[in-house]
């Protein structure tokens, strides 16, 4: 890569904004994969090459469990990984001294490249180098707007209030510091939707499903709108919303007012948008008939439900390791008892209902018997095919390997993942051999976004919501009598944290909407974001995570060494639980007495170096720390 010219050097403002550490040499270089400014951005292929790098920001399945989509929910109440999640333990998530480089961290690396792209393309069009009406030019410009929205949405989820920067700024300290001012979160959300509306106006309706398209932008817009609408609704009255008690942005925005007139009307604005955008997807696309196959096939191009997916080539560079780990030992993951018990029976009843027909959980095969097919297709039980060998023979799953102690191997809870696991032996040869596609955006989300937004906005299930919900349950082979499910729901018997928003117990209809979402997106990395926006972690206090029923009969499959690897002092015969408690294997585990979620953790602390870079002190400068967090490095939440 060649050194940038003087005009491009104005991008040095990134350092002051904490976009990258000073040690990152490419700060003084042109965007990756490009030569000189004059030699690129002259044809549509250049634009495509530029935006290609942004696709790596999606979480998909990688070579290891720790960087794979199927393991993301280890950060929630749905799954447990091989280590404690510090975010869910009081005192163990700390204020960082410097900004990280991740898509959710306080940095602007990708945002500045999006802004540079927009400015350069506008210059090229003005100078006649590019044709503004060329469909490829329009499309890749639309992709860039999509990705700027995507990057900002990640910042919104992490930090809430965030600086909105849309231009390549001059190298002037005063200008740069002023640009670092945090904007109220609802304004950030509105800005994201504006970028997505621009993207929608420019994008093709359907290119290869390996690329962003108009439906993908509509779906992301519905996700953003639902996220912000529900955040404002459930976090109202806290310092985590603009204008709330002790909101730290008040000194920067003394005349703040919601564009809609009030926080209630602002909430409705976003819910209306969520309904509108989701309808553009749900009304024009259908669900796949085979749920399980979407996650183990190597050709999703013709699957109408999948709007965007990651495809993998054959070879060490491009393949993934999902089946390599899931076929063998469980990939260091495991579903929780709370998640598994949330699935309905095929007759539409919760497992505790008197007429449900639930067989109990002594044996794994009983747990899934006559249950929602998504559970049956996601959890391995005795007799399931693990591998179909090249010689025609088959290897079958027998029991979960609880004592495989090699980090990201073994199963943590006894409920081992079947979703994402191909039985093709070639998929499991190595952790780079996987070629099955990874869905990134699915139509089912549009259905669920509409159902939730419309119910919150209107207070009832309208015809569209009912139609979407029935289609989801038909595919899951669950009785479509939704009202029967609602009538038989007893929230006192539900183990789901999402039955609360803050300290308020929600109604049975809304709970079942949340249940449907939880079940549909099992092992797809959506759960923690939902719990955040619903404010459902307030009640995660002394929360003991449990897995399958180990101590009735399943322990007999584990051999004589079981008690050496698992703390047995809490098993049922000693007055404890018959369920495996994976975080209680050792008395020294920091979550031995349960997870305790501090409310401050709903937002991520601003790194301390940003205050120095902008000459800010808390409540005295363009930056302020998020509520509940200290202004000292390596300090826990208050």
Q: Which residues contact 96 (CB under 8 A, 6 or more apart)?
A: 605, 607, 608, 633
pLDDT at 567: 62
Phi/psi of residue 549, each to 5°? -70, 100
pLDDT > 60? residue 139: yes
Reading the block at residue 495, the tokens are 């183990």
3-state secondary structure 385-417: EEEECCCCCEEECCCCCCCCCCCCCCECCCECE
pLDDT at 40: 85
Query: Tens digit of pLDDT for each residue in 426-458?
Result: 999 999 999 999 999 999 999 999 999 999 999
Reading the block at residue 526, the tokens are 């959506």
Residue predicted with more confidence, 175 or 627: 627
Query: Tens digit of pLDDT for each residue in 251-303?
Result: 999 999 999 999 999 999 999 999 999 999 999 999 999 999 999 999 999 99
Phi/psi of residue 232, each to 5°? -60, -40
Q: Which of 246, 179, 235 is nearest to 623 (CA)?
A: 179
> Taking CA 452 as the corner, what is the angle to CA 451 and CA 456, rounded to the nearest 5 degrees?
120
Q: What average pLDDT score do residues 609-635 get?
A: 90
pLDDT at 18: 38
In 320-431, the DSSP E strands lie at 385-388, 394-396
Phi/psi of residue 81, each to 5°? -95, -170
Q: 525 falls in which pLDDT band (50, 70, 90)?
A: very high
pLDDT > 70? residue 134: yes
Q: How many whole angstroms separate alpha carbon 64 and alpha carbon 90?
A: 28
CA distances in angstroms from 6 to 9, 27, 179, listed in the order given: 5, 13, 21
- Least-confidence region, from 195-209, 217-231, 564-578: 564-578
pLDDT > 50? residue 168: yes
Residue predicted with more confidence, 446 or 566: 446
3-state secondary structure 102-169: CCCCCCCHHHHHHHHHHHHHHHHHHCCCCCCCCHHHHHHHHHHHHHHHHHHHHHHHHHCCECCCCCCC
| Beta bridge partner(s), residue 571 | 577
Largest distance between two CA atoms of the chain = 80
Buried b (16+ CB within 10 A) or exposed e, 460-483: ebeebbbebbebbbebbebbeebe
pTM of the model: 0.93
Q: Which of 380, 390, 363 is nearest to 421 (CA)?
A: 380
Query: Tens digit of pLDDT for each residue in 359-380?
Result: 999 999 999 999 999 999 999 9
Residue predicted with more confidence, 317 or 545: 545
pLDDT at 370: 99
Residue predicted with more confidence, 563 or 495: 495
Query: Tens digit of pLDDT for each residue in 16-71?
Result: 333 333 223 222 334 444 446 667 899 999 999 999 999 999 999 999 888 899 99
Q: Is 301 exposed, middle or buried (0-12, 13-18, 19+ CB in 10 A)?
A: exposed
What is the percent of the chain where pLDDT is above 90? 81
Q: What average pLDDT score do residues 515-538 get?
A: 99
Q: What average pLDDT score do residues 591-619 get?
A: 93
């Amino acid at each position: 890569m060649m050194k940038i010219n003087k005009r491009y050097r104005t991008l040095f403002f990134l350092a002051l904004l904490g976009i990258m550490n000073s040690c990152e040499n490419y700060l003084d270089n042109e965007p990756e994969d490009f030569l000189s400014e004059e030699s690129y951005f002259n044809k549509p292929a250049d634009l495509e090459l530029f935006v290609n790098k942004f696709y790596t920001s999606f979480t998909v399945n990688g070579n290891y469990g720790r960087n794979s989509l199927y393991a993301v929910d280890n950060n929630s109440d749905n799954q447990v990984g091989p280590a404690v999640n510090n975010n869910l333990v009081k005192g163990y998530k700390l204020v960082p001294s410097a900004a990280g480089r991740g898509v959710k961290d306080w940095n602007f690396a990708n945002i500045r490249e999006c802004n540079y792209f927009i400015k350069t393309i506008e210059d090229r069009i003005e100078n006649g180098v590019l044709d503004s009406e060329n469909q490829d030019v329009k499309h890749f410009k639309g992709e860039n707007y999509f990705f700027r929205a995507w990057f900002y949405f990640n910042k919104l989820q992490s930090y809430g209030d965030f600086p909105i920067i849309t231009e390549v700024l001059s190298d002037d300290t005063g200008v740069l510091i002023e640009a670092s001012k945090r904007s109220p979160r609802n304004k950030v959300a509105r800005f994201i939707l504006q970028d997505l509306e621009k993207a929608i106006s420019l994008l093709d309706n359907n290119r290869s499903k390996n690329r962003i398209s108009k439906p993908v932008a509509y779906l992301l817009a519905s996700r953003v709108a639902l996220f912000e609408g529900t955040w404002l609704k459930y976090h109202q009255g806290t310092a985590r919303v603009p204008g709330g008690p002790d909101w730290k942005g008040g000194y920067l925005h003394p005349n703040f007012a919601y564009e809609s007139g009030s926080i209630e009307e602002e909430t409705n604005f976003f819910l209306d948008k969520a309904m509108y955008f989701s309808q553009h997807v749900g009304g024009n696309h259908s669900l796949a008939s085979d749920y399980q196959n979407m996650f183990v096939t190597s050709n999703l191009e013709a699957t109408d439900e999948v709007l965007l997916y990651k495809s993998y080539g054959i070879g060490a560079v491009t393949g993934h390791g999902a089946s390599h780990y899931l076929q063998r030992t469980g990939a260091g993951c495991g579903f929780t008892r709370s998640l598994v018990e949330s699935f309905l029976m095929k007759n539409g009843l919760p497992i505790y209902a008197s007429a449900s027909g639930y067989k109990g959980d002594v044996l794994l095969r009983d747990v899934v018997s006559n249950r929602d097919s998504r559970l049956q297709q996601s959890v391995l039980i005795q007799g399931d095919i693990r591998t179909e060998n090249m010689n025609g023979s088959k290897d079958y799953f027998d029991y979960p390997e609880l004592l495989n102690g090699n980090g990201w191997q073994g199963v943590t809870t006894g409920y081992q993942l079947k979703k994402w696991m191909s039985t093709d032996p070639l998929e499991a040869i190595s952790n780079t051999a996987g070629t099955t596609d990874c869905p990134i955006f699915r139509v089912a989300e549009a259905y669920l976004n509409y159902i939730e937004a419309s119910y919150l906005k209107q207070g009832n299930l309208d015809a569209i919501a009912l139609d979407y919900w029935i289609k989801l349950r038909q595919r899951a082979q669950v009785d479509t009598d939704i009202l029967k499910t609602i009538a038989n729901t007893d929230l006192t018997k539900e183990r789901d944290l999402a039955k609360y928003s803050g300290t308020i117990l929600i109604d049975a209809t809304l709970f079942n909407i949340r249940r449907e979402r939880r079940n549909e997106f099992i092992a797809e990395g959506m759960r923690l974001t939902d719990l955040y926006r619903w404010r459902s972690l307030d009640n995660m206090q002394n929360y003991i995570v449990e897995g399958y029923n180990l101590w009735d009969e399943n322990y007999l499959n584990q051999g004589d060494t079981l008690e050496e690897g698992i703390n047995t002092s809490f098993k049922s015969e000693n007055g404890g639980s018959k369920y495996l408690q994976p975080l209680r294997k050792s008395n020294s585990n920091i979550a031995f007495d349960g997870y305790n979620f501090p409310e401050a953790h709903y937002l991520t602390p601003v790194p301390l170096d940003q205050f120095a870079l902008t000459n800010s002190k808390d409540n005295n400068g363009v930056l302020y720390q998020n509520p509940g967090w200290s202004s000292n490095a390596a300090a826990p939440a208050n």
